[in-house]
């Protein structure tokens, strides 16, 4: 796809974010911020039998940050958590079509993935500490 199409997709997700909001009584809720700008993302998940039944995000950030969060929710909703566990930094950058971002913008694009992975560490920490530790190790990539 051309850069223009990717730019349009990012703007569309930024202006019409998917799965934005909060979930009452979530199974997982997690918050983090981008230390470079202070922008913040909250993520809420409902999990049933290790499937993501619902996911919502909230927060403030730049277009790349919020578009990336919106796209990420679409990647994991109604999917097994095992799929979400495998989403990599490269998957996100490829998904938003920005593979040559500078380090500052990479943090914008990856904030939501970091939050999701932190949420998964929290979710697994009681149930399956080995899996929690593996996700934690992978998340240090960012």
User: What Rg do the C-alpha atoms of the chain give, in angstroms?
Assistant: 14
- Which DSSP category does 113 fall into? H
Report the alpha-carbon distance of residue 71 to residue 42 in Å, rounded: 15
Minimum Å distance from CB 98 to ligand FES?
12
Binders in 38-57 for ligand FES, by CB under 6 A: 39
Minimum Å distance from CB 36 to ligand FES?
7
* Range 111-142 burial, b when 16+ CB lie within 10 A, else e: bbbbbbbbbbbbbbeeeeeebbeebeebbeee
Among 17, 26, 61, 119, contact with ligand FES (rule: CB under 6 A): 61
Instruction: Give the total of residues touching ligand FES (CB under 6 A).
Output: 9
Residue number, 41 or 81, with CB nearest to ligand FES: 41
Minimum Å distance from CB 33 to ligand FES?
8
What 3-state class would DSSP assign to 10? helix
Is residue 108 a contact point for ligand FES (CB under 6 A)? yes
Residue number, 98 or 108, with CB nearest to ligand FES: 108
Report the alpha-carbon distance of residue 109 to residue 8 in Å, rounded: 16
Q: At what angle do helices 3-15 and 63-76 cross, to 10 degrees?
A: 80
Residue number, 72 or 81, with CB nearest to ligand FES: 72
Minimum Å distance from CB 108 to ligand FES?
3
Residue number, 63 or 132, with CB nearest to ligand FES: 63
Do strands 40-48 and 51-60 pair parallel, antiparallel, or not at all (unpaired)?
A: antiparallel
* Residues near ligand FES (CB under 6 A): 34, 37, 39, 61-62, 64-65, 108, 111
């Amino acid at each position: 796809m051309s850069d223009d199409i990717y730019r349009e997709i990012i703007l569309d997700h930024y202006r019409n974010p998917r799965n934005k909001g909060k979930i009452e009584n979530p199974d997982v809720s997690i918050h983090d911020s981008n230390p470079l700008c202070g922008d913040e993302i909250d993520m809420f998940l409902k999990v049933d039998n290790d499937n993501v039944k619902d996911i919502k995000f909230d927060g403030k950030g730049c277009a790349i940050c919020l578009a990336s969060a919106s796209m990420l929710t679409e990647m994991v909703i109604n999917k097994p958590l095992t799929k979400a566990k495998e989403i990599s930094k490269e998957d996100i950058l490829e998904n938003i079509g920005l593979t040559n971002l500078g380090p500052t913008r990479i943090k914008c694009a990856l904030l939501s993935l970091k939050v999701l992975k932190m949420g998964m560490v929290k979710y697994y920490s009681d149930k399956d500490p080995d899996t929690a530790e593996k996700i934690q190790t992978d998340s240090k990539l960012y």
